[in-house]
Chain A
Amino acid sequence: MPVPSAEDRWFDAAAGPIVRPYAMTRGRTRPLGAALDLVSIVVAADPASVDRYGLDPEHLDVLALCRRPTPVADIASEIDLPLGVVRVLLGDLRHKGLIEVCPPTSSAGPANERILRQVLDGLRGL
């Protein structure tokens, strides 16, 4: 198999920026347990009973943002960390029982016609 030229590389400029796994997660790129959807809502399970053992400062920062129910994407933006990192940190917190994860509301199907109308009204009012 011939060695591809630089133009043939799959991580070219058109692919957008590529980054390496993060030391903050010790190189981990996937969260423990089930996948975390971008619009899953997370919330701290019980703020009073946090066992800080094994938690990094970033875990605690993420946990602090979960005091109110918050979508995963918002946590990533507020904490200014890459989504992949935030997912790993959230996976750790979930594994320790420190957060609850609420799967996203599916907006497909007739049952959610009301949600669609709310979105339409909301857009109209912008």
Chain B
Amino acid sequence: MAYADSDPNGHSDLNGRVVPIAVKIIVAGGFGVGKTTLIGSISEIRPLRTEEVLTDRSIGVDNTILIEDKTTTTVAMDFGRISFGDSLVLYLFGTPGQERFWFMWDELSFGSLGAVVLADTRRLADCFASIDYFEQRQIKFVVAVNCFDGAMRHEISDVRNALDLDPEVPVVLCDARRRESAKKVLMTLVEHVLQSISAEVGRDESAPVH
């Protein structure tokens, strides 16, 4: 089987055919915080509802007595797409909002560029689990505070303190319904990842050689 190698033009090759490079960004946060809205406001396609399989390896961590004879089912999730020319496609995947579906997050986040954690200041605790998840796996993320009614109830510094974020993690305000706002959130994430790479390269170069 032929596997892809990136060539200098940003394409991959599969049996001599040019294939687009597909990258993904995860959109996480509590249930009902506006993940689907954010994806929909910037995706070139209507957010698609796909389904993921729940198997017995995911069951058992919760109360499953009612479904003990049913070892497989699926749960829906949303995704959107942004194409940049023919050679690069960005996918936005909304995570299932529940901690019990974290086994799905592992697959979703594997190889991802980074994550957006969407927060609602009225229910800030809902995004603690997402932040823990990305911190533990060293996946770069930004926190986007979704201001539903346009009114800012809290200062960004308050949100940062409440979430106990590392100083380098960006916190931005957004209106998930607005395309420009969603675009700004995604750009903040990509810039953050790029800065992290620069910082790592700098550390490696300055590290003493033994």
Binding site for B on A (CB under 8 A): 1, 3-4, 8-11, 14-21, 29-30, 35, 37-39, 41, 43, 45, 68-69, 71, 73-74, 76-77, 82-84, 100-110, 112-126
Contact = CB atoms under 8 A, between A and B. Distances in A.
Given A84-B52, A107-B111, 8 more contacts: A29-B74, A68-B17, A82-B74, A100-B14, A103-B3, A107-B23, A116-B194, A120-B191
Contacts of A29: 53, 55, 72, 74
B73 A115 contact: no
Nearest first, the 6 A-B pairs at minimum CB distance are: A122-B84, A83-B50, A69-B19, A10-B62, A39-B22, A82-B51
Contacts of B53: 29-30, 84
Given A10-B100, A69-B14, A100-B15, A119 B190 contact: yes
B97 A14 contact: yes
A73 B81 contact: yes
Nearest to A106: B111
A39 B84 contact: no
13 contacts: A9-B63, A15-B98, A20-B74, A29-B55, A37-B111, A41-B14, A69-B14, A73-B79, A84-B51, A104-B22, A104-B24, A116-B194, A123-B190
Interface string B166-190: 0000000000000100010011001
Nearest to B138: A108
Contact of B4 (A9, A35, A41): A41
Contact of A107 (B14, B32, B66, B112): B112
Interface in B79-95: 79, 81-82, 84-85, 88-91, 93
Given A29-B53, A83-B50, A110-B200, A18 B4 contact: no
Interface residues of B, number: 74
B4 A105 contact: yes
B198 to A, nearest CB: 8
Contact of B10 (A103, A104, A114): A114
Contacts of B96: 15-16
A102 B14 contact: yes
A41 B19 contact: yes
Contacts of A113: 194, 197
B42 to A, nearest CB: 7
Given A20-B73, A115-B23, A123 B186 contact: yes
B48 interface: yes
B21 interface: yes
B82 A38 contact: no
A39 B24 CA distance: 8
